[in-house]
Structure 1
């Protein structure tokens, strides 16, 4: 029976879309072995969009175009979901057109399905048999879909705001681009050395929140920060570098609280990057601990870091093993960080003694600024 094939095809479209919505909106973890619209759009549209943005000379226009990708993917996903659902219900109604008087063509069936889905109910056609169930299901799907998708959009916006608050604070301290040395120097020049442990604990909680939200809603990875030179991945890398510097270079006896918090944050931050790299199937490049790696810290760079910290009144240890320890700590996260940054076209500073470490002047006293947030 030809109508049965058409009915089955329409039902399959409805089931696939509802499954995709369930996995995207309601299931709080990624699923790799399912047909997912969001990842397909991200892999197909994302590189082309970022390539187009990269050709623009104006930094503001370039960042604006990059930032528009995530909202575009979100709106496109919703529109495609709705269109395929209506198309599926229309195929089901058209397959059993003998249940309706007068029997509709496919165009009329599409109108009836859209009318039922949007709960307008603008139809004078007599419906009987299983097609009544199809019309009722279309209306229920429309009502539930609007509620679920509205909640999903609000959840994405809330997670995005929570992520960006800390990024803005790092940008204020370090200026752009954010680096670990600049963060430590900025805090030191504000005479906030005793607050460094609070900074690492705050970012430890931030990293756990980011992993949960971005694992539940992977589309958040496509949302950009406001500033091109201070993206959220760059800020995370700067705080990870700051923690590595504290553990490798600082006098642990005199900075015991900061060292303990830095160690805990390194574990969480490294886990976050590893999980995100696995979700988006990106692989790191050279190992920062290997000799000859372009990301390996050299002795002269370590001396520059020590000088910058000493000028900011940090207690700096002078042990010869600091260089190997620093490279070993950075090797745990740097590959995944660089791979994610390359995948999403985010500028990060790979060198531990990067430029800008000494540019940030002391923060204004009495401004009420708290580097821990």
Structure 2
């Protein structure tokens, strides 16, 4: 069927506009993900990560992987594979866009147009056009393909450098808080060393750590899913243990007021909230001190009794200590559990061990970047 020349011209103009939009969207996605130093929702990157995640979860169901060790081994591949898929998706998007442009300009049929576009973006040069204007577009497409590849090459050292800094602190926490990290272990070890009143340097170090993940895990969101080198470690359970330890210190321990611990808590819950924002995880930005938390009073009392039996001096008013602890914990309780579930974190008391208790409303609705 042959279209009337006017309708054929209109169709080609429409295809040309659509092709231009596709190319711009592909380039914009790469810029938002690899270049822009702030958060920006991108549908292409979001869809790529969500589709890859769905594929990995399907594999887990088909292979009936129920143990944490099996899930951890499989999910360790998720972030690297999703990250490497992004340039492929972008290059494919640009390839389709230029192929439609070549077809709309009337230089070839659709199959030949795709062959010409593939030859250009891969810089193989096995196909070319005799028209100067289209040859100029071929060079432009080749440059775009090279730039997208270069972006990935330059991006990988940045993301692995941030990952290394994050994991160094997580590994060092094992010395202080055990594996899995827990508030009782950290307080006990500092008590045995006689340094309970000198924990300020720990809080200062982790305040800086929280500030760094606030920046890196929002601008380089793939880092959220990069798992620790050891399966029993996780950045989110480490964050939970530090926040609980700081909250416990200012609420329960009978030591002079520790301002550094309070600052660390604030830096921590702000960082976790900002990361949660990228996944549209809902939380109360202004919770009340008496709002319910996932840690029960009996669990709190059990830790207090254990530490008291070791000679740790606690505040006498246990009821007020509990209210103070809950008042701090409520600031990060929801986002901590949601992120632990999102990342399939390993077992850790007071964090990933109860992430399933978080309401279904706290599950991520979309991946923003």
| TM-score when normalising by structure 1 | 0.81
> In the alignment, which residue of structure 2 is the partner of 1:335?
334
CA drift of 1:151 comes to 1.3
CA drift of 1:230 comes to 2.4
Return the alpha-carbon distance in structure 2 between the equivalents of residues 53 and 194 of structure 1.
47
| CA deviation map 1:211-231 (0-9, x unaligned) | 100111112212222344321
> In the alignment, which residue of structure 2 is the partner of 1:162?
165
> In the alignment, which residue of structure 1 is the partner of 2:252?
249
- Asked if the contact 1:284/1:338 (under 8 Å) is kept, the reply is no
- Asked if the contact 2:251/2:322 (under 8 Å) is kept, the reply is yes
Secondary structure (helix, strand or coil) at the match of 1:230 reads coil
> In the alignment, which residue of structure 2 is the partner of 1:36?
43
Residues 70 and 200 from structure 1, CA distance in 2 versus in 1: closer, same or farther, beyond 3 angstroms? same
> In the alignment, which residue of structure 1 is the partner of 2:314?
316
- Asked if the contact 2:95/2:114 (under 8 Å) is kept, the reply is yes
| Residue 237 (str. 1) matches residue 244 (str. 2) | no
RMSD of Structure 2 on Structure 1 (CA): 2.7
| Residue 67 (str. 1) matches residue 76 (str. 2) | yes
Return the alpha-carbon distance in structure 1 between the equivalents of residues 293 and 105 of structure 2.
66
> In the alignment, which residue of structure 1 is the partner of 2:224?
221
Return the alpha-carbon distance in structure 2 between the equivalents of residues 41 and 312 of structure 1.
51
> In the alignment, which residue of structure 1 is the partner of 2:185?
182
> In the alignment, which residue of structure 2 is the partner of 1:139?
142
CA drift of 1:312 comes to 5.7
> In the alignment, which residue of structure 1 is the partner of 2:364?
none
Taking the TM superposition and a 5 Å limit, the aligned residue runs for 1:111-130 are 111-123=115-127, 125-128=129-132, 130=133
Return the alpha-carbon distance in structure 2 between the equivalents of residues 97 and 278 of structure 1.
46
> In the alignment, which residue of structure 2 is the partner of 1:49?
56
Deviates more, 1:305-314 or 1:11-20: 305-314
CA drift of 1:15 comes to 0.7
| Residue 271 (str. 1) matches residue 259 (str. 2) | no
The partner residue of 2:19 within 10, 34, 44 is 10
Return the alpha-carbon distance in structure 1 between the equivalents of residues 74 and 348 of structure 2.
22
CA drift of 1:281 comes to 0.9
> In the alignment, which residue of structure 2 is the partner of 1:357?
none
| Residue 152 (str. 1) matches residue 140 (str. 2) | no
> In the alignment, which residue of structure 1 is the partner of 2:203?
200
- Asked if the contact 2:123/2:142 (under 8 Å) is kept, the reply is yes
Secondary structure (helix, strand or coil) at the match of 2:199 reads helix
- Asked if the contact 1:289/1:327 (under 8 Å) is kept, the reply is yes
| CA deviation map 1:247-298 (0-9, x unaligned) | 0111232xx5xx121111001001111111222111249x89557x462441
- Asked if the contact 1:117/1:139 (under 8 Å) is kept, the reply is yes
- Asked if the contact 2:206/2:264 (under 8 Å) is kept, the reply is yes
Residues 134 and 319 from structure 1, CA distance in 2 versus in 1: closer, same or farther, beyond 3 angstroms? same
- Asked if the contact 1:284/1:335 (under 8 Å) is kept, the reply is yes
Gaps of 5+ in 2: 1-8, 354-369
Return the alpha-carbon distance in structure 1 between the equivalents of residues 310 and 245 of structure 2.
14
- Asked if the contact 2:128/2:135 (under 8 Å) is kept, the reply is no
Secondary structure (helix, strand or coil) at the match of 2:97 reads helix
Residues 236 and 53 from structure 1, CA distance in 2 versus in 1: closer, same or farther, beyond 3 angstroms? farther
Gaps of 5+ in 1: 99-103, 355-373
- Asked if the contact 1:164/1:232 (under 8 Å) is kept, the reply is yes
Residues 313 and 202 from structure 1, CA distance in 2 versus in 1: closer, same or farther, beyond 3 angstroms? farther
> In the alignment, which residue of structure 1 is the partner of 2:303?
305
- Asked if the contact 1:215/1:276 (under 8 Å) is kept, the reply is yes
Deviates more, 1:300-309 or 1:16-25: 300-309
Aligned length: 338
| TM-score when normalising by structure 2 | 0.82
Return the alpha-carbon distance in structure 2 between the equivalents of residues 239 and 65 of structure 1.
28
- Asked if the contact 2:116/2:128 (under 8 Å) is kept, the reply is no
